Amino acid sequence: MASSGDCTKNDGSRRSSSNLINPPSSKKRKVRINGAEETLDLLSELPESLLIQILSLLPTKDAFTTCILSKRWQYLWTSVYNFKFTRRSFRKPKHFISFVDYVLAHSVCSKIKRFEIDCTYLFRYNYNSHICRWLSFAVERKLENVVVRSNSETSAFKLPESFCTCSSLITLDLTSCCFDADVVIAWKSVKSIRFDAFVLFDKDILNVLSGCPALETLELDIVEGLRRLEIRSSKLKRLKLQDYWLSNDGGDHTLEIFAPYLQHLEISGDLDDLKCRLIDVSSVVNAKLTFNIRCIKDIRDDHGEEFDDAEDSCREYHQVFRTLVQYYLQKFSCATELTIGTWFTKVLCMLQYEGVQIPELKCKYLTLELHMDKFNLYGVAGLLRALPHVETLVIDIESMRFDYSRCHFESRDLAKGNKIDLQSLSSSFVLPNLKNVMIVNPSGVCLKDQFKSRYVKKLSKLSEFLLTNASVLEKFVIISKKRRCQTCSMNCVSQYLFGFAEKLLGCPKSSTNSVIIFQE
For residue 30, is pLDDT > 80?
no
Q: Compute φ and ψ for 181, nearest 5 degrees.
A: -60, -40
pLDDT bucket at 35, cuts 50 / 70 / 90: low
User: Can you give the pLDDT at residue 153?
Assistant: 55
For residue 272, is pLDDT > 90?
no
- Measured CA to CA, the distance from residue 453 to residue 441 in angstroms comes to 14
Minimum mean pLDDT range among 199-203, 309-313, 368-372, 504-508: 309-313
423-436 mean pLDDT: 78
200-220 mean pLDDT: 95
Output the pTM of the full model: 0.85
401, 371 in Cβ contact below 8 A? no
Instruction: Please state whether beta strands 286-293 and 264-272 pair in parallel, antiparallel, or not at all (unpaired).
Output: parallel
Instruction: Please state whether beta strands 145-149 and 114-118 pair in parallel, antiparallel, or not at all (unpaired).
Output: parallel
User: Can you give the pLDDT at residue 24?
Assistant: 38
Q: How many residues does the chain have?
A: 520
Q: Which residues of 291-315 are buried (b: 16+ CB within 10 A; e: fewer)?
A: bbbbbbbbbbeeeeeebeeeeeebe
Sign of CA dihedral 223, 239, 404, 399: negative
253, 246 in Cβ contact below 8 A? yes
Could you tell me what percent of the chain has a pLDDT over 70? 77
User: Can you give the pLDDT at residue 481?
Assistant: 73
Which helix (H) or strand (E) segment holds residue 128: the answer is helix 128-140
pLDDT bucket at 214, cuts 50 / 70 / 90: very high
CA distances from 88 to 85, 147, 358 (A): 9, 16, 51
Sign of CA dihedral 273, 226, 213, 188: negative
Between 294 and 341, residue with greater pLDDT: 341
Read off the pLDDT of residues 154-193 as tens digits, 9 standing for 90 and up. 567 889 999 999 999 999 999 988 888 889 999 999 999 9
What 3 state SS string does 226-273 have? CCEEECCCCCCCEEEEEEECCCCCCCCCEEEEECCCCCEEEEEEEEEC
* DSSP per-residue letters across 307-367: ----HHHHHHHHHHHHHHHHHHHHHTTT-SEEEEEHHHHHHHHHHHHTTPPPPP---SEEE
Q: How far is CA 71 from the centre of its chain?
A: 45
What 3 state SS string does 37-87 have? EEEEECHHHCCHHHHHHHHCCCCHHHHHHHHHCCHHHCCHHHHCCEEEEEH
User: Can you give the pLDDT at residue 14?
Assistant: 37
pLDDT bucket at 206, cuts 50 / 70 / 90: very high
pLDDT bucket at 12, cuts 50 / 70 / 90: very low
Amino acid, single-letter form, for residue 48: E
User: Can you give the pLDDT at residue 310?
Assistant: 55
User: Can you give the pLDDT at residue 303?
Assistant: 60
User: Can you give the pLDDT at residue 297?
Assistant: 76
Mean pLDDT of the chain: 82
For residue 453, is pLDDT > 80?
no
- Measured CA to CA, the distance from residue 253 to residue 248 in angstroms comes to 10
Read off the pLDDT of residues 297-351 as tens digits, 9 standing for 90 and up. 777 666 656 655 555 677 788 888 989 999 999 999 999 999 999 889 888 888 8
Query: Where in the chain are the domains?
Result: 46-103
User: Can you give the pLDDT at residue 388?
Assistant: 92
Crossing angle (nearest 10°) for helices 377-385 and 454-469? 20
